[in-house]
C-alpha cells in the first residue's frame, strides 16, 4: 500500500464534511481528497438514473486519476441509489452512508422515529428494507426536507438562512399523524448534522438526533487498520464546477484541513 494513497470522500456538496470530521478524529494522519459535486448539486430532486450515472461516472474518473485506497460515498442519496453499482465497477473498498434507522430504533423511548432526508432518499426501497429489518415494531415517519441541503450550503458559506426553513422541516414530521410523539430524529442526509443546533431549537427539548457519521468513521478505520499513512502534499478539496460562491467556502474547507482547491478537469 502506497502510504500517500488518499481516502476519497464524495458528496454532492459540503454535507460529507460531517463525515470527514469524524474520520479526522480517528485517522488524523490520513491523506484526504474531499470531492464535492457542486456541478450536480442537489441530488434530491434528480431521478435514480441521473444520480446513478453521475456518481458512477465521476467516481470512475476520480479513481483512475487519484488511485485512492478507499472511497467513502458520504451522501445518503448517492449511497442508497448507486452504492451497489459503484462496488460492481471499481476495484477499491467502498464505504457508503445509509440512514441510521437501526441505532434510532434502539434508543427511541416513545417508539416513534422521524426521518429527515432528501426526496430521493426517503422513497428508496433501501430505506424500506432498513425499516423492516430494524424498526418493524416502531413507527417511522419520513419527510423530504430538501431545503435543508441549501441551508447547510449557505451556512457554511457564511450566509444568512431563513429560520422558517428549519421550522418547515420540523413541522413536516410533527404534523403527520403520531408526529407529536417523535422523540428521535434520523438525519438521513450528511448535510443535516451541519444544522444540528438549528434543528435542536425547532424540535425542542426531549428529541434525540442520530446520524451515521461516527459509525462510518469506525468502519473506515477498521478497513485501513495497519496501513501506513503519509502526506506528500496538503489535503485537497475537489470541485466539479468553477463557482463564484466557492470563495465563501474557503474558511470551511480550511477548518476541515483541506488546504488546496481544484476543479476536476
Domains and CATH numbers, the chain: 7-97+214-263 (3.40.50.1860), 101-211 (3.40.50.1860)
Catalytic residue among 14, 51, 75, 210: 75
Give me the pLDDT at residue 66, please: 97
Q: Tell me the pLDDT band of 18, cut-offs 50, 70 and 90.
A: very high
For residues 57-86, average pLDDT: 96
**120: its cell numbers:** 430521493
d(CA 172, CA 263): 37
56 is catalytic: no
For the beta carbon of residue 13, count every other beta carbon within 10 angstroms: 23
Contact between 16 and 72 (Cβ < 8 Å): yes
> What is the grid cell recorded at 132?
423492516
Query: Quick one: which of 160, 157, 162 has its CA closest to 147?
Result: 162
Q: Distance between alpha carbon 1 and the CA centroid of its chain, in Å? A: 27
Q: How many CA atoms lie within 13 A of 181 on its CB side?
A: 12
List alpha helices for the chain, DSSP H.
17-26, 48-66, 76-89, 101-107, 119-122, 125-134, 147-156, 164-174, 196-203, 213-223, 250-255
Lookup result for grid cell 470541485: 239
Give the pLDDT band of residue 4 (cuts 50, 70, 90).
Answer: very high
Grid cell digits, residue 25: 478524529
The active-site residue out of 112, 188, 189, 217 is: 189
* Average pLDDT estimate for 180-185: 98
Average pLDDT over residues 104-118: 98
Mean pLDDT of the chain: 96
pLDDT at residue number 246: 82
State CA 193 to chain mean position distance.
Answer: 9
Instruction: Kindly report, residue by residue over 142-153, the tens digit of the pLDDT.
Output: 999 999 999 999
What pLDDT shows up at residue 1?
Answer: 83
pTM: 0.94
- At 265, is the pLDDT very low, low, confident or very high (cuts 50, 70, 90)? confident
Q: In angstroms, rounded to a whole number, what is the distance separating the alpha carbons of residues 92 and 73? A: 12
Per-residue pLDDT of 194-217, as tens digits, reads: 999 999 999 999 999 999 999 999
Of the candidates 192, 195, 186, 181, the one whose C-alpha atom is nearest the C-alpha of residue 74 is: 192
Cα→Cα distances 190→18, 27, 77, 92, Å? 6, 19, 9, 22
**Sheet of strand 112-117, all strands in order from the earlier edge strand to the far edge:** 139-144, 112-117, 184-187, 208-210
Nearest by Cα to 189 from 128, 240, 148, 155: 148
Q: Provide φ and ψ at 199, rounded to 5°.
A: -70, -35
* pLDDT at site 244: 81
User: Does the pLDDT of residue 247 top 90, yes or no?
Assistant: no
Amino acid at each position: 500500500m502506497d502510504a500517500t494513497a488518499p481516502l476519497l470522500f464524495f458528496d454532492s456538496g459540503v454535507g460529507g464534511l460531517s463525515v470527514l470530521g469524524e474520520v479526522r478524529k480517528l485517522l488524523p494522519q490520513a491523506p484526504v481528497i474531499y470531492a464535492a459535486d457542486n456541478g450536480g448539486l442537489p441530488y434530491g430532486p434528480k431521478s435514480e438514473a441521473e444520480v446513478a450515472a453521475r456518481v458512477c461516472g465521476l467516481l470512475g474518473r476520480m479513481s483512475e486519476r487519484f488511485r485512492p485506497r478507499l472511497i467513502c460515498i458520504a451522501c445518503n442519496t448517492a449511497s442508497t441509489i448507486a452504492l451497489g453499482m459503484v462496488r460492481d465497477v471499481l476495484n477499491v473498498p467502498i464505504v457508503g452512508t445509509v440512514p441510521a434507522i437501526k441505532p434510532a430504533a434502539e434508543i427511541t423511548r416513545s417508539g416513534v422515529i422521524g426521518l429527515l432526508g432528501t426526496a430521493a432518499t426517503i422513497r428508496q426501497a433501501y430505506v424500506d428494507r432498513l425499516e423492516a429489518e430494524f424498526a418493524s415494531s416502531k413507527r417511522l415517519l419520513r419527510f423530504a426536507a430538501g431545503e435543508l441541503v441549501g441551508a447547510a450550503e449557505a451556512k457554511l458559506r457564511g450566509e444568512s438562512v431563513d429560520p422558517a426553513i428549519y421550522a418547515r422541516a420540523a413541522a413536516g414530521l410533527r404534523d403527520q399523524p403520531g408526529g407529536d410523539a417523535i422523540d428521535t430524529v434520523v438525519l438521513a442526509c450528511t448535510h443535516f448534522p451541519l444544522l444540528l443546533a438549528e434543528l435542536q431549537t425547532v424540535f425542542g427539548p426531549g428529541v434525540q438526533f442520530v446520524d451515521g457519521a461516527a459509525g462510518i468513521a469506525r468502519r473506515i478505520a477498521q478497513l485501513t487498520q495497519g496501513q501506513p499513512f503519509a502526506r506528500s502534499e496538503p489535503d485537497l478539496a475537489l470541485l466539479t464546477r468553477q463557482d463564484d460562491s466557492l470563495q465563501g467556502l474557503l474558511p470551511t474547507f480550511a477548518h476541515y484541513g483541506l488546504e488546496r482547491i481544484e476543479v476536476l478537469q
